[in-house]
Amino acid sequence: MPHFIFGITNTKFLGLFGFSARGNIAYSALQFTACLILFHFKYGLSTILENGIFAGGIMVLILFYLFGKVAMDLGEKSLALDSLHKAAIFDCAPFRGNLVYNKIMLDVAQTDTHPLIDFEALVSSHLLEGDAFIDDTYVQNTYYQLLTTDLSKIIKHIFQI
């Protein structure tokens, strides 16, 4: 799912087929196809139709993707990102945290008054500005520099420096 989002938003992100938007969309299609094939061999594709949870989850995912794509085409970038983030939440096997996990951590940190740096929000706020990622895992060093600045402020506050 992330590669599909990066492809739609024209974010430069290294995937199996390179940095281009088409390459990322193609890679997401390949991953989805491989997922369906593996699911078929383990459970059979008829299981999707027999179990409303699977079919409903896939339909919600597809609808959020389509809505996000249409919103991007209409120039509604914030609406598109919101929809695409919701689509990512329905990812059954995310290899990163998602908005749900991040929201839980944010709520716990605020309830217990622990300092928290919301790195996902920092990166997401600049996602449509260009080349956010240098590969399929790591963001540009600029984001780490911003993270370091925020972290140093928190440390100075804690130790009253």
Whether the Cβ atoms of residue 13 and residue 136 lie closer than 8 Å to each other: yes
pLDDT digits (tens, 9 = 90+) for 23-46: 777 887 888 888 778 877 888 877
Q: Given this model, what pLDDT does residue 1 score?
A: 60
Q: Given this model, what pLDDT does residue 136 score?
A: 60
Q: Given this model, what pLDDT does residue 140 score?
A: 81
Phi, psi of 133 (to 5 degrees): -115, 145
Query: Is residue 109 packed enough to be buried (19+ CB in 10 Å), middle (13-18) or exposed (0-12)?
Result: middle
pLDDT digits (tens, 9 = 90+) for 61-105: 777 777 777 777 787 777 777 777 777 666 655 656 667 777 888
Between CA 81 and CA 10 the distance in angstroms is 12
Residues 104-114: what's their mean pLDDT? 81
pTM of the full structure: 0.47
Q: Given this model, what pLDDT does residue 23 score?
A: 79
